[in-house]
Chain A
Amino acid sequence: MSTITRAEAPELTPAPETKPPRRRGRWTPYWLLLPGILWLVVFFALPMLYQASTSVQTGSLEEGYKVTWHFATYWDALSQYWPQFVRSVLYAASATILCLLLGYPLAYLIAFRAGRWRNLIMILVIAPFFTSFLIRTLAWKTILADGGPVVGALNALHVLDLTNWLGWTAGDRVLATPLAVVCGLTYNFLPFMILPLYTSLERIDPRLHEAAGDLYAQPFTTFRKVTFPLSMPGVVSGTLLTFIPAAGDYVNADLLGSTDTRMVGNVIQTQFLRILDYPTAAALSFILMAAILLMVTLYIRKSGTEDLV
């Protein structure tokens, strides 16, 4: 009530302004942007330039490095480490597809079938995030241990024969094979697939399902023609959020894999932190960045979703 009484004093109103008062500060947006954008320019964009410059330098740790436009570093790095690049793309792509196959039913379940369990399941999807991912990745060493129940079951079901034949596992082991690395990658990035899928599924009006049913669509047809197309934005951002970090990851390959499963992330890490060959490491990292940006751009063009931000 007090607000109304105060409003009865029109003489307090300042002369009508041409602009609404909220827009008074012409410089306000720039002041708001300045600190954060400066931070990103100095600690994100500028380092990229430094890295580009490092990749064309030659020299040694003792004598210092000079920019000599030595582009051969790129060629040497690619010809020496192309298997690791191919492996990164293959592992990340497999993990992304597995995440989509595993994550879709769970996202669908939360969005349409969970009822009053929805919040609980949502918490259970997010809560593991709060246990350090390294601890959880180490737990896979126990789960996939040689002679453990999982390996035993896979052996009994002759799954290992199939995966051995495909080259995903070797002998009676799952640990230290590509299968273990892909399994770890899938596990680590699954929530990044489930959350965007859930967000776009949740927006679908359930009456559309009923309408499809009324028009004699079988449940699977409803899914194929109605649900899945409408969830495409979630599929696109989910696959990107899974593929990009998986392609650059080196933790899973290191903890669950062997020297035969090294990914490009492992090479960059070793070159940078142990061998201290900065030009090669910078070149590798630059190639990885360019490759991923190229793939992402093509993928977004093709799937026609522009508003990811």
Chain B
Amino acid sequence: MAFVNWLKRHLVVVAGLLTLGYLLLPNVVVTVFSFNKPKGRFNYEWQQFSTDAWKDPCGVADMCGSLSLSLQIAVWATLGATALGTMIAFALVRYRFRARGAVNSLIFLPMAMPEVVMAASLLTLFLNMGAQLGFWTILIAHIMFCLSFVVTAVKARVMSMDPRLEQAAQDLYAGPLQTFLRVTLPIAAPGIAAGALLAFALSFDDFIITNFNAGSTVTFPMFVWGSAQRGTPVQINVIGTTMFVVAVLLVLVSMALGNRRNRQKA
């Protein structure tokens, strides 16, 4: 009876933690199976413990090449989408102009469109133009779908900014450029960083749009997709585990630094 009462009081917590388990279970499996030594070509069944894949992460043909291609595309797509998106966000929040509604819907629609529709229509454009599919078409596509997410992230931050701070800077004889560089940009920076991070993650992990517009170029997600047909090397799990661990560590470190700075200020 005591247990039933306890469960009643903590039902939300129990259900929430179960969901968290559901979310994390595949990551646990990915990690555990990075130490597997599979018998066949597929790494779906546990055989025996081995650290072979960890000792030789690039031991699979073409995998590390695809990984570095994905990183390059993600970096360029992040830079492009963040620059273009930040400019749009500032224009939307700070200025009045015609056709605001049209601009807003043009930014909203790519987020409300199934990826496969954007992928297919972009491919028809490239085919009609006779464009060579590869690095550049992937980059163009990635900047296109990351742009809206950057705009949304930066806009949220700039909107919550107190415009009087900039007026104060100007009252103190800061020129427009100086005001922007020393007041506006530092305050907007967390929003821009959040947008850039989101763009990087979206671009790096994108499969559907890339699959349509890559031609014979192979990014990391496309390598994984291909390996699901041909045979999954254990090294895929090594990369997956490393990405997860690095992401968690980076967040923890940045949080610890943020905490320390706050404490120093106080």
Contacts and interface: CB of A to CB of B under 8 A. Distances in A.
Interface stretch (B48-56, B185-193, B244-252): B244-252
Interface residues of A toward B: which range?
35 or more
Given A29-B97, A132-B224, A40 B23 contact: no
B247 A130 contact: yes
A133 B232 contact: no
B201 A130 contact: yes
- The residue among B22, B125, B173 with the most chain A CB atoms within 10 A of its own CB is B125
A128 B27 contact: yes
Contact of A296 (B112, B124, B232): B112
Given A22-B166, A113-B13, A272-B120, A187 B23 contact: yes
Interface stretch (A163-171, A207-215, A248-256): A248-256
Contact of A130 (B107, B127, B244): B244
A190 B20 CA distance: 10
A285 interface: yes
Interface residues of B, number: 93
Given A29-B91, A142-B45, A251-B208, A47 B125 contact: yes
Contact of A35 (B84, B123, B176): B84
A273 B211 contact: yes
Contacts of A66: none
Nearest to B232: A138
A251 B109 CA distance: 22
B172 A3 contact: yes
Given A54-B124, A285-B120, A33 B248 contact: no
Contacts of B16: 105-110, 113
B22 A187 contact: yes
Interface stretch (A69-77, A78-86, A228-236, A239-247): A239-247
B117 interface: yes
Contacts of A32: 87-88, 90-91, 95
A139 B118 contact: no
Contacts of B18: 102, 105
B114 A143 contact: no
Given A30-B97, A105-B16, A281-B120, A288 B228 contact: no
Contact of B33 (A12, A142, A272, A281): A142
A29 B103 CA distance: 12
A285 B121 CA distance: 8
Given A12-B173, A143-B25, A132 B87 contact: no
A131 B107 contact: no
Given A32-B87, A108-B16, A127-B244, A273 B212 contact: yes
Contact of A51 (B44, B124, B148, B224): B124
B255 interface: yes
Closest 7 CB pairs of A and B: A248-B114, A109-B16, A29-B95, A130-B247, A36-B84, A105-B15, A47-B121
Given A50-B124, A110-B16, A187-B22, 7 more contacts: A6-B173, A45-B106, A51-B121, A109-B16, A138-B44, A248-B208, A269-B212
Interface of A: 3, 6-7, 12, 20-24, 28-30, 32-33, 35-37, 39-41, 43-48, 50-51, 54, 102-103, 105-110, 113, 119, 121, 123-143, 145, 187, 190-191, 240, 244-245, 247-251, 255, 265, 268-269, 272-273, 278, 281-282, 285-286, 288-289, 292-293, 296, 308-309
20 contacts: A21-B176, A29-B94, A32-B95, A36-B85, A39-B147, A40-B106, A44-B118, A47-B125, A131-B243, A132-B204, A132-B224, A134-B221, A191-B23, A245-B115, A247-B114, A249-B115, A265-B116, A268-B116, A268-B120, A288-B117
